[in-house]
């Protein structure tokens, strides 16, 4: 979708549709009042007749409103003004776009970015409006044979700011929203692609493609021989059973000061997780194509910051593997020496995410990181604990955890912290190796993080468990692009 920023009153706009809010109960917003006076009380009369209460989710499409230069006016219910927080704003924007899409309008001028959202400024409202709009309009039709032509006609949306003074900052905010949207779309597309297409080699080639689009992005791909030299035996133990060779992809983006240490993002890239010899049950196993959504979020975030030209230093590390059972696959009880030198007894081959992440985390040391954040669809236990609304967050450095939690609030892509206390560490003791790769039935998300914490002692580190948030199940099954928005916001905050 194409966006632009404008100021000026609604009665002067020549457009296919003007979008304005009505709050509950029957309260016209500023822009709606302007239309009301230009149209000699057309709106207040209609509201008096009870056609729209202003409830969230309501809408009313009007044609030929007197005194207006536009073809249509779309009234959008905004709910109670004093409840208007980030989530309500998102619903308002989403509803307005869904309604607009059912009309024949090619373009629209929306005044919804002038609503008062508690604690949020204009820039926030503009960039989020761009992000939320692109998010609801997303479709994944790459694998539909008859490219069912979309009947949607909406091409361009103009967002408004109250005066000319806000135009430059509004433009900048729209650009940020646009770059972010592209990153989110990339993450969703990669997630949605089936595992017979989206293999570790495919991810590597997509990374190289991204480096062609953005000259500021440097990409390197290590093959299995190179990983063997680095003694990444834990990572390689996972891909042993697969015909698809493992890849270690790194992105380097140095947009910040020469001497400032980079933030390193490490994303779990299991392109399909069968569980290996500890094979998963069949129902819903198709969803394990999404087990590379952590990796996809690193792709999306790297793309977003490169598109913005953000002044920060960021490195992305993506261990990419396929987890399959076969005669060469790892067996329960097998022991491997990780890159760190610590030995691991693999009691369950389905706890493979931590096995690839631990070597990727050790590898991150070489970038001399300011902080390392890993992102992984790591545990079913996280879905049990937090459901699909919050990403799980665990960290060895509280200020880093707070920054990420805050970024999640701003982005509407929230995380919730779980404890990483020492008491949990003993659950992954092994009689044979330095540690086991599973910690029993209790606190599965925490013991998985405990495992990772043994490889992150040399830097500030946070772990994001996105098992519940990376995609939605059911008949509208789709990757969400989470947590690209959180990560990009964290880097935007970090750049200041």
Taking contact as CB under 5 A, which single stretch among the options 62-70, 259-267, 351-359, 384-392 is the one that binds Zn ion? 351-359
Q: Are 487 and 208 in contact (CB under 8 A)?
A: no
Exactly one of 55, 279, 380, 430 binds ligand BES (CB under 6 A); that residue is 380
Least spacing, CB of residue 251 vs ligand BES, in Å: 23
Q: Which does 183 bind (CB under 5 to 8 A by kind): ligand BES, Mn ion, Zn ion, none?
A: none
Build a one-symbol-per-residue string for 464-483: x at contacts with ligand BES by CB under 6 A, - elsewhere: ---x----------------
Q: Which does 252 bind (CB under 5 to 8 A by kind): ligand BES, Mn ion, Zn ion, none?
A: none
Residues 244-283 that bind Mn ion (CB under 5 A): 273
Taking contact as CB under 6 A, which single stretch among the options 25-33, 80-88, 259-267, 378-386 is the one that binds ligand BES? 378-386
Give the CA angle between residues 459, 465, 468 to the nearest 5°.
170
Number of residues that bind ligand BES (CB under 6 A): 16
Q: Are 52 and 60 in contact (CB under 8 A)?
A: yes
Reference 306, options 410, 182, 437; nearest CA is 182
Least spacing, CB of residue 222 vs Mn ion, in Å: 23
Does position 351 interact with ligand BES (CB under 6 A)? The reply is: yes
d(CA 304, CA 464): 19
- Cβ proximity to ligand BES: between 115 and 467 the closer is 467
Quote the longest CA-to-CA distance of the chain: 83
Q: Please say if 128 is a catalytic residue.
A: no
Least spacing, CB of residue 436 vs Mn ion, in Å: 15
- Up-side HSE of residue 118: CA atoms within 13 Å toward CB? 10
Residue nearest to Mn ion according to CB distances in the complex: 350
Number of residues that bind Zn ion (CB under 5 A): 4
Taking contact as CB under 5 A, which single stretch among the options 181-189, 226-234, 269-277, 362-370 is the one that binds Zn ion? 269-277
Catalytic residue among 128, 175, 354, 482: 354
Exactly one of 262, 267, 408, 444 binds ligand BES (CB under 6 A); that residue is 444
- Cβ proximity to Mn ion: between 99 and 437 the closer is 437
Q: Are 293 and 210 in contact (CB under 8 A)?
A: no
Length of the chain: 496
d(CA 179, CA 159): 17
Q: Please say if 72 is a catalytic residue.
A: no
- Cβ proximity to Zn ion: between 26 and 280 the closer is 280
Exactly one of 10, 79, 241, 353 binds Zn ion (CB under 5 A); that residue is 353
Does position 322 interact with Mn ion (CB under 5 A)? The reply is: no
- Cβ proximity to Mn ion: between 278 and 485 the closer is 278
Does position 291 interact with ligand BES (CB under 6 A)? The reply is: yes
Map tokens 């020492």 to a residue.
422
d(CA 71, CA 63): 6
Q: Is 471 helix (H, G, I), strand (E, B) or coil?
A: strand
Backbone angles phi, psi at 4, to 5 degrees: -140, 165
Does position 377 interact with ligand BES (CB under 6 A)? The reply is: yes
d(CA 347, CA 280): 15
- Cβ proximity to Mn ion: between 64 and 473 the closer is 473
User: Is the C-alpha dihedral spanning 143, 145, 146, 147 positive or negative?
Assistant: positive
Build a one-symbol-per-residue string for 352-391: x at contacts with Mn ion by CB under 5 A, - elsewhere: x---------------------------------------
Does position 273 interact with Zn ion (CB under 5 A)? The reply is: yes
Does position 465 interact with Mn ion (CB under 5 A)? The reply is: no
Backbone angles phi, psi at 8, to 5 degrees: 130, 155
What number of helices (H) and strands (E) belong to the chain?
14, 21
Distances (CA, A) of 129 to 22, 145, 240, 261, 283: 17, 32, 45, 33, 37
Reference 403, options 294, 482, 493; nearest CA is 493
Distances (CA, A) of 25 to 53, 82, 218: 6, 12, 54
Exactly one of 244, 350, 359, 413 binds Mn ion (CB under 5 A); that residue is 350
Taking contact as CB under 5 A, which single stretch among the options 19-27, 49-57, 227-235, 291-299 is the one that binds Zn ion? 291-299
Give the CA angle between residues 108, 109, 112 to the nearest 5°.
120
Determine whether 30 is exposed, middle or buried from the number of CB atoms within 10 Å of its CB (0-12, 13-18, 19+): middle
Residues 177-206 that bind ligand BES (CB under 6 A): none
Exactly one of 158, 379, 427, 489 binds ligand BES (CB under 6 A); that residue is 379
Q: What is the 3-state secondary structure (H, E, C) of 285-334?
A: HHHHHHHHHHHHHHHHHHHHHHHHCCCCEEEEEEEEEEECCCCCCCCCCE
Least spacing, CB of residue 21 vs Zn ion, in Å: 43
Does position 291 interact with Zn ion (CB under 5 A)? The reply is: yes
- Cβ proximity to ligand BES: between 173 and 351 the closer is 351
d(CA 259, CA 37): 58
Residues that bind Zn ion (CB under 5 A): 270, 273, 291, 353
**Catalytic site positions:** 280, 354
Residues that bind Mn ion (CB under 5 A): 273, 350, 352
Residues that bind ligand BES (CB under 6 A): 273, 291, 348, 350-353, 377-381, 383, 438, 444, 467
């Amino acid at each position: 979708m194409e966006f632009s920023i404008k100021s000026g009153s609604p009665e002067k706009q020549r457009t296919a549709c003007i979008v304005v809010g009505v709050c509950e109960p029957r309260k016209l917003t500023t822009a709606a009042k302007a239309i009301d006076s230009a149209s000699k009380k057309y709106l207040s009369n209609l509201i008096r007749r009870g056609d729209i209460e202003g409830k969230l989710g309501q809408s009313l499409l009007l044609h030929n409103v007197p005194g207006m230069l536009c073809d249509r006016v779309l009234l959008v219910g905004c709910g109670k003004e004093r409840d208007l927080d980030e989530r309500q704003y998102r619903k308002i924007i989403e509803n307005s776009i869904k309604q607009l899409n059912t009309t024949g309008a090619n373009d629209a001028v929306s005044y919804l970015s002038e609503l008062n959202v508690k604690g949020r400024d204009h820039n926030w409202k503009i960039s989020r409006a761009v992000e939320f709009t692109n998010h609801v309009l997303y479709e994944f039709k790459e694998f539909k044979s008859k490219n069912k032509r979309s009947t949607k006609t909406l091409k361009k949306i103009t967002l408004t700011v109250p005066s000319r003074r806000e135009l430059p900052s509004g433009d900048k905010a729209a650009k940020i929203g646009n770059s972010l949207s592209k990153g989110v779309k990339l993450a969703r597309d990669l997630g949605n692609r089936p595992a017979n297409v989206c293999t570790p080699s495919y991810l590597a080639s997509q990374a190289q493609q991204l480096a062609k689009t953005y000259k500021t992005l440097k990409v390197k791909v290590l093959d299995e021989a190179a990983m063997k030299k680095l003694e990444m035996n834990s990572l390689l133990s996972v891909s042993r059973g697969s015909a698809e060779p493992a890849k270690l992809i790194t992105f380097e983006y140095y947009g910040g000061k020469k001497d400032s240490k980079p933030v390193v993002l490490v994303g779990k890239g299991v392109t399909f997780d069968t569980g290996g010899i500890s094979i998963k049950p069949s129902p819903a196993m198709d969803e394990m194509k999404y087990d590379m959504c952590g990796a996809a979020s690193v792709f999306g975030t790297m793309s977003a910051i490169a598109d913005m030209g953000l002044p920060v230093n960021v490195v992305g590390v993506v261990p990419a593997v396929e987890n399959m059972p076969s005669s060469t696959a790892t067996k329960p009880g097998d022991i491997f020496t990780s890159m760190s030198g610590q030995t691991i007894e693999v009691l369950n081959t389905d706890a493979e995410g931590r096995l690839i992440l631990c070597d990727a985390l050790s590898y991150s040391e070489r970038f001399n990181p300011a902080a390392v954040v890993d992102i992984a669809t790591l545990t079913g236990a996280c879905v049990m604990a937090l459901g699909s609304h919050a990403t799980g967050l665990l960290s060895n450095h509280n200020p880093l955890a707070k920054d990420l939690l805050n970024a999640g609030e701003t982005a509407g892509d929230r995380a919730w912290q779980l404890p990483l206390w020492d008491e949990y560490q003993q659950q992954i003791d092994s009689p044979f190796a330095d540690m086991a790769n599973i910690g029993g039935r209790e606190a599965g998300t925490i013991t998985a993080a405990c495992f990772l914490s043994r490889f992150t002692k040399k830097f500030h580190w946070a772990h994001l468990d996105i098992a519940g948030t990376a995609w939605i199940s059911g008949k509208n099954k789709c990757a969400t692009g989470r947590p690209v928005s959180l990560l990009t916001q964290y880097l935007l905050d970090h750049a200041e």
